[in-house]
Amino acid sequence: MPRPSVAELRPVVHPEGVKDRRSGEHWAGRLYMREISLRCDRYLVNTRITPNQLTYLMVVAGILAGAALLVPGLAGALLGAVLIQIYLLLDCVDGEIARWRGQTSITGVYLDRIGHYLSEAALLVGFGLRGADLFDGSESPEWLWAFLGTLAALGAILIKAETDLVDVARARSGLPAVKDEAATPRSSGIAVARRAAAALKFHRLVGGVEASLFILFVAILDLVGGDLFWTRLGIAVLAGIAILQTLLHLVSILASSRLK
C-alpha cells in the first residue's frame, strides 16, 4: 500500500479545530511538532504498530527523561530535554494515527492522560533527585531537594487531576462536557487574577516541555558556576509554582461555572 502524502494526511489527522483547542493543544505542537509528526505519520500509518502502542512508547520516553536527569552535568539535562521532545512527538503521532485509521477509543484517551501524569511527575522527581546530588560524588545527599522535587511533581499531578475531575463530576451528575466559556470565574476579581496569571504563564513551568527547557537552562548556569546552586534554586521555584497553582486552579474551578 503506497504511503499517503502529507497533503492527504493533513485534513484527516489535523481536522479543523485540533490546533486551536484552548487547553488540549500545546504551544510547541502548534509551533512545530504537528508539522514534524505529519511527516512521521507517513511511515507509520501502514505499519502494524497501534496508536496505543505509540502511547506506551510516549510514556516510556517521558519516564526516561526523568531518569536521564540523574546523569550529572549538562549531558543529563540535555538528554532529558531531547527525550521530552520525543515524548511530545509521540503524543502527537498516536492520536493522528488513530484518526487516520478510525481507531480512536476511550482506552486511548485514558492511556494518554495517565501518560501525561506519569511522565511529567517523573521529570520533576528526577529534577529533585538531581538537586540532591546522588550520583556526583557526594557523600551525603541533600534530601531536601528530592522532597521539593517530589512536591512539585505532586502539584503538577493535582493540577491535571483538578481539571480532569471536572469532567468526572459532570459525567456522574448526568451533565454534558464543559464548554470553554464556563471556565471564566463568576467573580470579577477572580476573573482578573485568572487573566493576569494566564498572561504571565508562570504555571506552564511545571509542564513537561517547559520544565525540561528550564532544567536545561539552569544546568547551563550551573556549568558556568561550577555547582548546583541554580538547579536547587530552580527546584524551589518549581515547587513553589506547583503549590501555588494547585490552590489557584482549585479556586478558579470552584468560582467558575464548570461545575454548574
Please give the single-letter amino acid code of residue 191.
Answer: A
pLDDT of residue 188: 58
CA dihedral 44, 46, 51, 56 (to 10 degrees): -50
Lowest mean pLDDT across 59-63, 87-91, 156-160, 203-207:
203-207
Per-residue 3-state assignment (H helix, E strand, C coil) for 105-119 = CHHHHHHHHHHHHHH
| Three-point CA angle 55, 23, 231, nearest 5° | 75
Residue 180 has pLDDT above 80, yes or no: no
Query: What's the predicted TM-score (pTM) here?
Result: 0.88
HSE (side-chain half, CA atoms, 13 Å) at 57 = 15
Contact indicator for 214, 205 with CB cutoff of 8 Å: yes
Task: Write the Ramachandran bin of 139: left for phi over 0, alpha for psi from -120 to 50, otherwise beta.
Answer: alpha
How would residue 196 be classed by pLDDT, with cut points 50, 70 and 90?
Answer: low
β strands within the chain, DSSP E: none
Cell of 62: 517521558
How far apart are the C-alpha atoms of 65 and 63, rounded to whole Å? 5
CATH architecture for segment(s) 6-254: Up-down Bundle (1.20)
Top-confidence range, 32-36, 118-122, 182-186: 118-122
pLDDT of residue 21: 60
pLDDT in tens, 125-177: 999 999 998 765 556 778 999 999 999 999 999 999 999 999 899 888 888 88
Contact indicator for 228, 222 with CB cutoff of 8 Å: yes
pLDDT in tens, 85-139: 999 999 999 999 999 998 888 898 899 999 999 999 999 999 999 999 876 555 6
255 by DSSP, 3-state: which? coil
Sketch the domain layout of the chain as residue ranges.
6-254
